[in-house]
Amino acid sequence: MAGSIKNVAVVGASGNVGKDVVQELLNAGFSVTALTREGSTSTFPANVVSKKVDYQSVESLTSALDGQDAVVSTIATPAIGSQLALVDAAVAAKVKRFIPSEFGVNTRIIAGTPIGDILQGKIKTVDYLVSKSQENPSFTWTGVSTGLFFDRGLKYGSIGFDKKSKTATIYDSGNEPVQVSNLSFIGRAIVAILSQPDKSANQYLSIASFNPTQNQILEIVEAETGEKWKVERASTAEEKKIGVEKLSKGDYSAFSNLLRGRLFTDGANLAAKGENSANDLLGLKEEDLTATLREWLRG
Ligand SMILES: NC(=O)c1ccc[n+]([C@@H]2O[C@H](COP(=O)([O-])OP(=O)(O)OC[C@H]3O[C@@H](n4cnc5c(N)ncnc54)[C@H](OP(=O)(O)O)[C@@H]3O)[C@@H](O)[C@H]2O)c1
């Protein structure tokens, strides 16, 4: 049993997903402590305690986690490997729940694929959490796959829609449902997990704000703007090929190509729906796709 959780340490609390996680935790009444690197210039809301840590030192991390009930890691992708020391520190500090920095593809099903090679630090972290929770029943974990960050992805072009030029890049038929989550929705999922920790102990969960197809997004943005958008056709097979070539040369920008090649492929069947979705378990309602797209178009 995970027991009740009040004090939450957030790692990477000033980051893209960290900011929304902190805001939703504060809204829900949790006490939040941000762990931040020595020399970091990150800033945090006034009611967040911040502690400088050395991610190489289990001792420094254990001392920073004293009195914390949960750790939510939203640490940057390049620092994913630091999480093993963080897990050791969490166990030593008697933390009850550890949520690792996943927040993307379901890393439980990618071992042995090119994407799995790039994300092996995430896979190792969850494997390590599984083994630590088996050794220490009072130490539990929850992994969260969110799919693509949707509101942020629209803003920075990773969803394939450019509102300035009114151009959509549609991969394959454009009919595959794709798991996506808005950042505040991810924050609310973390709140739901920590509010009722027993429901999600030692589980890897997939959530989604919604699972739109590219053609559904196109239809909505055309209706909202009252204009036909230019459509550029692209192939996921080509994206995969480019990704594998880049990866063979040690170029990790391969990740974006491989991701598009994986998620938009016809028949990929990776949506977080029905049995593949933990939205119901966490009491999360699907969000309004049109409202999210409208907000982006107006912004
Ligand atoms: N699904 C998606 O579309 C998507 C998109 C982007 C990211 N993600 C995933 O979401 C998680 C969080 O990513 P994010 O983009 O939110 O993180 P981020 O904004 O890039 O970084 C979060 C924080 O990590 C801390 N950090 C610690 N060590 C670091 C290092 N060596 N280099 C840089 N920062 C370091 C920094 O905080 P301090 O300065 O306070 O130490 C930084 O503000 C990752 O697992 C990532 O793979 C998913």
pLDDT value at residue 102: 98
Give the residue, by CA position, lying nearest to ligand 1 atom 25.
12
CA 167 / ligand 1 centre spacing (Å): 29
Q: Which of 75, 120, 181 to mutate to test the pocket of ligand 1 (most atoms within 8 A of CB)?
A: 75
Task: Establish whether residue 17 lines the binding site of ligand 1, counting it when its CB lies within 6 angstroms of any ligand atom.
Answer: yes
pLDDT value at residue 1: 40
For residue 93, the Cα-to-chain-centroid distance in whole angstroms is: 25
Burial level of 285, CB count in 10 A (0-12/13-18/19+)?
exposed
At the fourth CATH level, the homologous superfamily of domain 7-145+182-206 is: NAD(P)-binding Rossmann-like Domain (3.40.50.720)
**Closest ligand 1 atom to Cα of 34:** 40
Residue of 284, 127, 265 whose CA lies nearest to 204: 127
3-state SS, 107-125, equals HHHCCCCHHHHHCHHHHHH
Is residue 13 within 8 Å of residue 35, measured between CB atoms?
yes
Strand order in the sheet with 161-162: 161-162, 167-171, 230-234
Domain 148-179+210-271+286-298 has CATH 3.90.25.10: yes
Neighbouring residues of 294: CB distance < 8 A, sequence distance ≥ 6: 224
Q: Do domains 7-145+182-206 and 148-179+210-271+286-298 have the same CATH topology?
A: no
Low-confidence stretches of the chain (pLDDT beneath 50)? 1-2
**Closest ligand 1 atom to Cα of 41:** 39
**Closest ligand 1 atom to Cα of 17:** 16
pLDDT value at residue 3: 62
Distance CA 192, CA 194 (A): 6
Q: Where are the domains of the chain?
A: 7-145+182-206, 148-179+210-271+286-298
pLDDT in tens, 270-285: 999 999 999 999 999 9
pLDDT value at residue 235: 97
**Closest ligand 1 atom to Cα of 14:** 43
Q: Which of 17, 41, 126, 151 to mutate to test the pocket of ligand 1 (most atoms within 8 A of CB)?
A: 17
Tokens representing 253? 């920008």
Pairing of strands 70-73, 97-99: parallel
